[in-house]
Amino acid sequence: MLSSPDLSFSRTLPKDVFNQLGELLLSMAQAVGSAALVLTEAVLARIISKSEWQKQKFTLVVSEQFSALLVGNQEENVGMCFAGSFADLNEVSQPEGENGIEREFIPLTQNATLYASLTFNSQAIASFISQLRDLFSHDSHTYQHLERYLQIPSLNDATLQGKFTLLLLEYLLPLQNQSLTSDNNFNHVSTCQPIEDALKKQIYQEQLLNQVTNQIRDLSQIEAGKAVLNVSEFSLTNIAQRTMESLETLRHKLIISCQAPVDSPLYEPTIIAAIAQASVNNGAGGVRIDTPAHISAVRDRLKVPIIGLWKQVIAGTEVYITPQFHHASAVAKAGADIIAIDATTRNRPGGEMVNDIITRIHQELGKLVMADVDTIEAAVLATKAGADIVGTTLFGYTAATKHLAPPGWELLKQMVELDIPAICEGGISSPQMARQAIEVGAFAVVVGTAITGIDLQVKAYQSALM
């Protein structure tokens, strides 16, 4: 095992490379477990913030064992994370008001580059948390939550730091072969000698590993290994088959959507997992969970099918339910059996297409796909693209259907005529409505706000009393 060098760096990176580094940090958060705080720029989606923050993307992981911060800006020297030179942002934002003003994102083009900084420095991370905290009102849950984590960053556990080192090197090595530091690919701003040394060590270790691997590739040894290890258990085909079997267990069952707003006290992996456990204890056949950290926490407690998704607010697109393949990959790694994606006809970020994402989820992740749609046209296209399930999830929530109120009964009646299971989701607010959905022909019913939406339900009752 390598030692744990400081792999902090600052350099200009393509947006897709920046996103991949964010995925590596999310993998580390999953390794740490439910005790980790994981935040991205999505936490700012519903507050007013100054341009310094609008231009900024970040992934923040904080725990007692491992903490890291990845920040990317469209311009150099804007709030760099370990220079300690953030602008004074105490008075540049206001907390969300009753009118729910949306944050104005500055779009990033497909070929955009970001000036990225990765740091493990506890003081720099604490400074970032402090300034992020001050963007919210003092009585908000988000402010109080960040206040608690402000005291946590410290020196990283050597084992976990070493694990991240290997993850980072595994990712950087292919780029090294593509002239990682050439002027044509990256504007190399600063480098760290330990990362150069660590790369050399890792290359040597991988050469040794390749020698060993070549020795065990003898056919007889492979066949013997299959007998001992039952290699077929690890094929994507068999994984998908087992997942299909788990889908059948959801037929005519209730699926509970266990989610909470990011500024709610319920937005904790352990709390979401407890809500999911309570749902299953009382008969739910499965659960629908948002964000990898929450999915992982639920997976640790439950064996029932999980429909996983990752809501991400991305500039320049209205698509936010698992908008890109790398989001689907993180959802799969967290333990979801079925991956829900926005399958409307709206433009997706990065130019990705619904049919390509579905194909990659099947071929690379071995998972089933639930296509969240708003119209029968979108449902038909998703079916042709290879989706395994269609859901009425986005009926009433897109420009094409915003004049309509869920549940989408007529849409459901049309969808049940397709060749794949149709799930009724959205607007189911009573047991009688759930029963009606099954009678119409729904494969299963998803209920969220009516059962787990404490925040919205209380607001609704309170509004009715005023």
Of the two residues 391 and 180, the one the predictor is more confident about is 391
- What is the C-alpha separation between 48 and 315, in angstroms, rounded? 15
Mean pLDDT of the 383-400 span: 95
For residue 166, pLDDT over 90 is answered with no
The CATH code of the domain at 237-465 is: 3.20.20.70
pLDDT of residue 23: 84
pLDDT of residue 190: 37
pLDDT of residue 48: 62
Peptide bond into 407 cis (omega under 30): yes
For residue 97, pLDDT over 70 is answered with no
Selection from 19, 90, 23, 14 nearest residue 52 by Cα: 90
- What is the C-alpha separation between 223 and 10, in angstroms, rounded? 47
pLDDT of residue 117: 85
Mean pLDDT of the 193-201 span: 50
**Of the ranges 233-237, 363-367, 428-432, which is most confident?**
428-432
- What is the C-alpha separation between 40 and 30, in angstroms, rounded? 15
Of the two residues 307 and 366, the one the predictor is more confident about is 307
pLDDT of residue 75: 55
**Of the ranges 152-156, 223-227, 360-364, 378-382, which is most confident?**
378-382
For residue 194, pLDDT over 90 is answered with no
- What is the C-alpha separation between 184 and 190, in angstroms, rounded? 16
Six token digits for residue 146:
């960040």
pLDDT of residue 303: 93
Asked if residue 128 lies in contact with residue 86, where contact means CB atoms within 8 angstroms, the answer is yes
Mean pLDDT of the 344-358 span: 93
pLDDT of residue 184: 39
Of the two residues 119 and 83, the one the predictor is more confident about is 119
For the four alpha carbons of 14, 110, 104 and 404, in that order, the dihedral sign comes to negative
For residue 292, pLDDT over 70 is answered with yes
Six token digits for residue 290:
């948002």
Least confident of 57-66, 137-146, 177-186: 177-186
- What is the C-alpha separation between 99 and 465, in angstroms, rounded? 19
For residue 96, pLDDT over 50 is answered with no
Six token digits for residue 377:
């046209």
Q: Give the start-to-end residue ranges of the domains of the chain.
A: 9-200, 237-465
Least confident of 8-17, 144-153, 230-239, 452-461: 230-239
Selection from 174, 190, 47 nearest residue 105 by Cα: 47
- Read off the pTM: 0.53
pLDDT of residue 216: 36
pLDDT band at 360 (very low <50, low <70, confident <90, very high): very high
The pLDDT tens digits of the residues spanning 308-338 come to 999 999 999 999 999 999 999 999 999 999 9
Of the two residues 93 and 399, the one the predictor is more confident about is 399
pLDDT of residue 147: 84
For residue 42, pLDDT over 60 is answered with yes
Question: Strand pairing partners for 447?
Answer: 256
For residue 394, pLDDT over 90 is answered with yes
pLDDT above 70 covers a percentage of the chain that reads: 69
Asked if residue 260 lies in contact with residue 254, where contact means CB atoms within 8 angstroms, the answer is no
At residue 127, what is the residue type?
Answer: S
Selection from 253, 285, 258, 260 nearest residue 273 by Cα: 258
